[in-house]
Amino acid sequence: MTVNQVAALTPKDLTEATFTVNIMPKEFKQTDVGVIPEDWGVVDIREISEISVGRDLIEDCFSDVQDEKYRFPVYSNTVDYPGIYGYYEMPEYNQDAVTVVGRGVGLGTAYHRDRGFGAIGRLIVLFPKCDTHYLAHFINERVSIYNESGGVPQLTGIGLGRYKIALPPEEEQTAIANALSDVDALINSLEKLIAKKQAIKTATMQQLLTGKTRLPAYAKHPDGTPKAYKKTE
């Protein structure tokens, strides 16, 4: 390797090279997806997943509102709500899956989907032979999706199928997915708590900064009578 080639290496390249050359433990190996345990495999997504793409909306059995009749979520190419467009009377897909945003904002974002749902538009649907939660986590955290067009960001099912993932043994996939899901649940609960505390702070600021609520030391005159209010600009 020349001096110029070394200079062109990124910090990630140097870190992985150092790990590989100097301190690579015998139970690890260098692969196309980085350094992984020796008993993990590397596969293309298409090798372990049946890949489908969303179709046009089936309007005859669709509703914007969920009720006892329209129970099955319909997902689209969006990361809002998260991805729910409406509801079907009957499920289009009746097995656990992973959906991946194939167009626009959030390109490449993956979600685990429980069986009994529909998919529309350019939403990519994966029916993997591996743990669905693990695959969704891996795509989100370890796969760098690139834009296949020069205009609106988009990705095809064929293109997604070419990406490689690290694949642990089945039991380990599930263990990893459960651990990451637990962390997500904790983060979600903390975010809700923070939002609640922020709402309390906002309400308190509104009361204190307008004088509608006075701090005890300033709410009364020296003789103990409550202080009055006045109109101002």
Q: What is the per-residue pLDDT across 6-30, written as a single tens digit (0 to 9) for each? A: 445 555 555 555 555 556 778 899 9
Copy the structure tokens of residue 59. Answer: 């309007």
* Cβ count within 10 A of residue 105: 12
Query: Distances from the Cα of 185 to the Cαs of 65, 68, 102, 105, 178, in angstroms?
Result: 26, 28, 26, 24, 10
pLDDT confidence of residue 166: 97
Would you give the distance in Å from CA 40 to the centre of its chain?
24
Whether 205 has a pLDDT exceeding 70, the answer reads: yes
Residue 146: the pLDDT is: 86
Query: In the predicted model, what is the mean pLDDT of residues 192-211?
Result: 94
pTM of the model: 0.77
Chain segment 24-61, per-residue pLDDT in tens: 778 899 999 999 999 999 999 999 999 999 999 999 99
User: How high is the pLDDT of residue 6?
Assistant: 45
